[in-house]
Amino acid sequence: MKKLFLLAFVLAIFTGMVFANGGKEAESTAVGGDDKMGGVLVFGRAGDSVGLDPARETDGESFYATHQIFDTLVEFKTGTTEIVPALATSWDVSDDNLTYTFYLREGVKFHDGTPFNADAVVFSLERQLKEDHPYNEYGPWQYWTNYMGMSDIVESITAKDDLTVVFQLQKPEAPFIANLAMDFAGIVSPTAYKADPEGFSSNPVGTGPFKFVSWTKDSDIVLDKNEDYWEEVYLDRLILKVIPDATARWLALQKGEVDIIDFPAADDLPAMEADPDVQLIQQSGMNVGYLALNVEKEPYDDVRVRLAMNYAIDRDEIIEAVYGSAGQVAKNPIPPNIWSYNDDIEAYPYDAEKAKALMAEAGYPDGFKTEIWAMPVARPYNPDARKIAEIMQAQLAKVGVEVEIVSYEWGTYLDRTGAGDHQAAMLGWTGDNGDPDNFLWVLLSAPSAVTPAAGNISLWKNEEFTALIKEAKETADVARRTELYEQAQVIFHEDAPWVPIAHSVVTVPASNSVKNFKISPTGTRVFKSVWLEQ
């Protein structure tokens, strides 16, 4: 057996990214002390959670809450994608990379007072793995099944003793250890879950740094400090407050109603920069925003139309109008700060005449009518989907494409795009683990295009592309994986299932009283080491 710490270290070289801070005030790296404890932090965010069972949900707003309530076996070091111990203090991996043995932290308790142990790990993950598990029916488990393909990776999960868990894999899986740091692998209280499996998503119990107190839908989620946590937690209370409008969030920060906010409007950034009571915490985003073209619906079943859409949409105009200096035009399905990014690919330029010619060749000389779905919430990869849709609507009208803009409540939007109900829909992704697989497999593989819970909402099932990324995820050699992912990006570019829109710089405005907050490249918000200056 070889210690997995070595493997994690090597993985971190390629996947761990620590970015320089921008803004007026660098993030503190100090460790809290007695003078940095206490206080109630209010986080103003754009939308509400869909649910609070980390294994069931797929959206960032839900993970904002679940990340505070639940722990995983391993976690990402705050501000990076470096793997460090969490509920497991150490682990071994066999020489054939098929057996992972985790040694668990002693003395940990769930928020309901029951002990954390190996049986809890097995329960939390087997409910997702085994179709005959008595609680499997309470899914869907989209991350485990459709997104990460864990049922095709994991053969068994066994409690060797009270503090030892053994995973047996069906095949080598290069990102496996990083996958276990993702929110879907959060460990739930078996006692609380069994008492009310249907209600657990609105009354969650984990081992995390904060305990669930209450949830007022579309208003706030209240969490209290876990006094028995295995690390020191400084805040007494954390409130996740829903404020949908970006300028309203900024006003709430100015008035002291919140301490930290999400997704500022580009127009408000100069005023934030000039405010002496506000710090702007910034980091290059590990994300991509895109317009997915449903290849199973006309006219997007024709690659010429998909290419025409790429030529007809002027992404430079979108970046200038919506992202400002915090955006970069996207050309690939992974961001440039992910290893294996293929920078040799040339982005499709804005060319209305080329778009018209391609549409005419495809049988649409006078254009066509289409729907473009716009998200109802701001996300790091798309701060204002409605505005972007309106810009696309005007641009596409110039080539004869008549656009109707459609939107739904956030949970419904995710459900309906996952079911493939759309013609074209805006969505995006922030990397969960720093590995290209987390973008390419989740968002574009054939297995991820299975409705009604597709992660690949273009429903693009390219066998050559899927074969390449499948080989890459089962290969340990990073150079070979890079080569395969670069080839896959060429196929994506040529077949054009998306119009890639942007990668963003993530900006988090906060009161100067907020200390030690670090932006996670995976897009979640981590508050366990944060304090408020008294």
H or E, element range at 424: strand 424-430
* Residues 523 and 468 grouped into a single domain: no
Examine the pLDDT at 308 and tell me if it is beyond 60. Answer: yes
Average pLDDT score over residue span 210-229: 98
Structure confidence at residue 534 as a pLDDT band (50, 70, 90): confident
CA dist., res. 197 & res. 51, Å (int): 13
- pLDDT for 163 beyond 70: yes
On the question of pLDDT at 421 being above 50, the answer is: yes
β-partners of residue 401 are 368
Separation CA 469–CA 436 (nearest Å): 9
State which amino acid sits at residue 29.
Answer: T
3-state secondary structure 67-81: HHHCCCCEEECCCCC
Question: How sure is the predictor about 380, in pLDDT bands with cuts at 50, 70 and 90?
Answer: confident
Which residues face 74 on adjacent strands?
85
324 and 202 assigned to the same domain: no
Residues 157 and 303 in one domain: no
How would DSSP label each residue in 474-534?
A: T---HHHHHHHHHHHHHHHHHH-SEEEEEEEEEEEEEETTEES----TTS----TT-EE--
281 within some domain:
no
Does the structure show a pLDDT above 60 at 489? yes
Q: Please check whether residue 311 lies inside any domain of the structure.
A: yes
What's the CATH number where 527 sits? 3.40.190.10
Q: Are residues 125 and 225 in the same domain?
A: yes
Residue 51 domain-assigned? yes
519/446 same-domain check: no
Q: Say yes or no: 428 and 522 in one domain.
A: no
**Peptide bond between residue 447 and the one before it cis (omega within 30 degrees of 0):** no
Same domain, 356 and 231: no
Residues 502 and 523 in one domain: no
CB 388, CB 394: distance < 8 Å = no
pLDDT of 382 above 90: yes
Q: Count structural domains, the chain.
A: 2
pLDDT at 492: 98
Q: How far is CA 174 from CA 16, 158, 378, in A?
A: 15, 21, 32
**Residue 424 and residue 371 in contact, taking contact as beta carbons nearer than 8 Å:** yes
The pLDDT-based confidence of 34 (bands split at 50, 70, 90) is low
Q: Does 27 have pLDDT greater than 90? A: no
Distances (CA, A) of 43 to 238, 272, 273, 302: 8, 17, 19, 45
Angle of CA points 16, 316, 441, to nearest 5°: 40
Q: Is residue 430 part of a domain?
A: yes
What is the model's pTM?
0.83
What integer pLDDT is reported at residue 170 of this predicted model?
97
Dihedral angle sign, alpha carbons of residues 269, 271, 274, 279: negative
The edge-to-edge listing of strands for the beta sheet with 88-93 is 2-3, 88-93, 99-104, 164-169, 154-161
**Cα–Cα distance between 116 and 104 in angstroms, integer?**
9
3-state secondary structure at position 436: coil
For residues 348 and 227, membership in a common domain is answered with: no
pLDDT above 80 (res 29) = no
User: Which alpha helices (H) appear in 403-451, and where do they start and end?
Assistant: 410-418, 437-444
CA distance 198 to 51: 11
Rg (CA), the chain: 23
CA–CA separation, 57 vs 252, rounded Å?
28
Predicted pLDDT of residue 476? 87
Cβ neighbours, 10 Å, residue 160? 12
Q: Are residues 437 and 520 in the same domain?
A: no
212 and 359 share a domain? no
Domain that holds residue 24: 2-243+513-532
Mean pLDDT value across residues 9-36? 40
Condensed to tens digits (0 to 9), the pLDDT of residues 41-52 reads 999 999 999 999
pLDDT for the residue 24: 36
Q: Is residue 319 part of a domain?
A: yes
Range of weakest confidence among 17-21, 258-262, 353-357: 17-21
Q: Are residues 339 and 214 in the same domain?
A: no
Q: Within a domain: residue 414?
A: yes
Confidence of residue 283 (pLDDT cuts 50, 70, 90): confident
CATH number of residue 415's parent domain: 3.10.105.10
Give the pLDDT band of residue 448 (cuts 50, 70, 90). very high
DSSP string, 355-378: HHHHHHHTT-TT-EEEEEE--SS-
Whole-number Cα distances in Å, 307 to 358, 364, 382: 7, 13, 22
Paired sense of beta strands 368-373 and 401-406, if any: parallel
Residue 502 within a domain: yes
In a domain, 273, yes or no: no
